[in-house]
Amino acid sequence: MCRLKIDVMGVLFDNVTMEQAVERAAGLIGEHRGAYCVTPNAEIAWEAMQDEGFRAIINGADLVLPDGAGVVLGAKILERPLQGKVAGIDFADRLAGYLADKGGSLYLLGSKPGIAELAGENLVKKHPGLKICGTADGYFQDEASVVEKINETKPDVLFVCLGAPKQERFMAAHKEELNVGLMIGLGGSLDGFAGTVKRAPKWMIRCNLEWLYRLIKEPRRLGRMMRLPKFVRACKKQRRREGKRHG
Ligand code: UDP
């Protein structure tokens, strides 16, 4: 399997296909040592470029998946291409299928009250046999009691859907005490599974226009989305710098 890391503006992505990502996740689940996986898109990569501490948390993950066309484009500009994007929500869906097949358990943490339960019901409908061993919303005050609740169920997989950088900080901070196989930071994925936030039509996803769909649905995201062109510009600048060094 291709285990090479690809450096995209200081963020070290695993150069894996979806199949390879699931295979690697399966290995980590088997080890049951509180591994964590992050799914940075270009906006998050931009954040990581500005914040060394956040970057260290991302690069300290056991699996770093390129969530989105922006990251793939950045890698291409830098002339160290990634095999492709591995969208967090699709990866999560594949893992739910894997757990259903293996009789594994899944804990859903995050989003507004009631959403994780709804997401769980939909996931079980899609993947019969999947065991949802617990759910909790993402608007808690006391992290220790959340950790305790999760540990009572010892899940194989924990979806951590608190938005970035909160979810990445949560996973890194509690990695040692959490009794889980693999945890994954998945942003707004529970809203997606619950059906309260719809994904873009398939043709838009195919044409790499998912960002445009989200912008039309949630115009307040514009500020955050401006990080994408900034990220692309930074990649181009970095490429020129590297070109000069080698040329
Ligand atoms: N969220 C949460 N706790 C918080 C802040 C946010 O559970 O303290 C949830 C929020 O309800 C949403 C998700 O985190 O479901 C963040 O979604 P967003 O689309 O902003 O994340 P992205 O995928 O873009 O990182």
Q: In this predicted model, what pLDDT tens digit does every residue of 60-91 receive, in sequence order?
A: 999 999 999 999 999 999 999 999 999 999 99
Query: What is the distance in A from the centroid of ligand 1 to the CA of 163?
Result: 4
Residues 54 and 57: their CA atoms lie apart, in Å, by: 5
Residue 187 in contact with ligand 1 by CB distance below 6 A: yes
DSSP string, 156-175: SEEEEES-TTHHHHHHHHHT
Cβ atoms of residues 63 and 40 within 8 Å: no
pLDDT band at 225 (very low <50, low <70, confident <90, very high): confident
pLDDT at 112: 98
Cβ atoms of residues 69 and 209 within 8 Å: no
Query: What is the distance in A from the centroid of ligand 1 to the CA of 114?
Result: 14
In the block, tokens 């936030």 appear at 197
pTM score: 0.94
Quick: pLDDT tens for 172-220. Answer: 999 999 999 999 999 999 999 999 988 899 999 899 888 899 889 999 9
pLDDT at 7: 97
Supply the residue whose CA is at minimum distance from atom 8 of ligand 1: 139
